[in-house]
Structure 1
Amino acid sequence: MQLLQMQSFGAQANTTYELLVAGGSMHLTLIDIQPLKAHDPNSQRAPFSLVFKSNVQHVLPQAVYRVRNAVQGEVDMFLVPLGRDAQGVTYQAVYN
């Protein structure tokens, strides 16, 4: 399993990712990248959060999804829906 780092997403803000779901895919835009407070000084990476926005109104349940873009390739992310508004659904992935 690839150990993702916040730095690898820095240049990817506002880019589109393809979320693979059974029977197809949907697009997510990476809208926010935030460092989080470290609780373990011996951790292999600094914790961080990624927030994505879809333009689809259907809310996917929290689960591990395969996500891909041109830079990272395919990675598995545990995505949690944060909420839905008129523009779509917001999802978050937290790495610690």
Structure 2
Amino acid sequence: MVLEFELGSEERWQNEATFKVTTLDRPASFRMHKGRCRKGRRMTNVLDLATVTRADFEAMRQEPILLVAANGTVDLSIEEVRQMGSGAGLRAGGAFSVVFRGPATPFVEQAIHRLEVGLPDSGRLAALDLFLVPVGHDAQGRRYEAVFT
């Protein structure tokens, strides 16, 4: 494992730091922003979107999920993992979608968001950047969907 840490000016360091992590042959970069991650959370695994499967998300159903947004963090849960037709998509196992449930407020805009999955003490903390689309709301909160083809 290789960990590179980039520091900008002292002023920039007070607000953010950029990390590059390489594990085996899977490089991934992410930024830690001041005040935007739960205290004590450390990334132990950055999931590769090209190989993540429906089964991976099924296994995450009981794990806490934290969406890290520009204006703070939002707790999410996985509500539904759905196959999208046989043979659909280019990925092994076919295309699928994941619907997340979040609170009514704050509203999270359609964009790529960092999701942190798991608990720091469990040793199973993972992160992934997903394009989430708001797909509805009801009395229980808002729903967001990510599609994998």
Q: Same fold (TM over 0.5)?
A: yes
Match status 1:63 vs 2:111: yes
What is aligned with 1:87? 140
Alignment TM-score, normalising by the size of structure 2? 0.56
CA distance in 2, matches of 1:23, 1:62: 14
Q: Indicate conservation of the 8 Å contact 2:74/2:106, yes or no.
A: no
Larger Rg: 2
Bigger fraction of residues in strand: 1
CA distance in 1, matches of 2:128, 2:71: 18
Percent identity of paired positions between Structure 1 and Structure 2: 28
| Equivalence map 1:11-50=2 (5 Å) | 11-37=59-85, 38-40=87-89, 43-45=90-92, 46-50=94-98
Task: Tell me the SS of whatever aligns to 1:29.
Answer: strand
**Tell me, which stretches of 5 or more residues in structure 1 are unaligned?**
none
Task: Tell me the SS of whatever aligns to 1:9.
Answer: helix
Alignment TM-score, normalising by the size of structure 1? 0.84
Indicate the larger mover: 78-87 or 64-73: 64-73
| Aligned Cα root-mean-square deviation (Å) | 1.9
Q: Which has the higher contact order (CA 8 A, sep 6+)?
A: 1
Q: Indicate conservation of the 8 Å contact 1:47/1:95, yes or no.
A: yes
CA distance in 2, matches of 1:7, 1:35: 11
Aligned length: 94
Letter in 1 for 2:91: Q
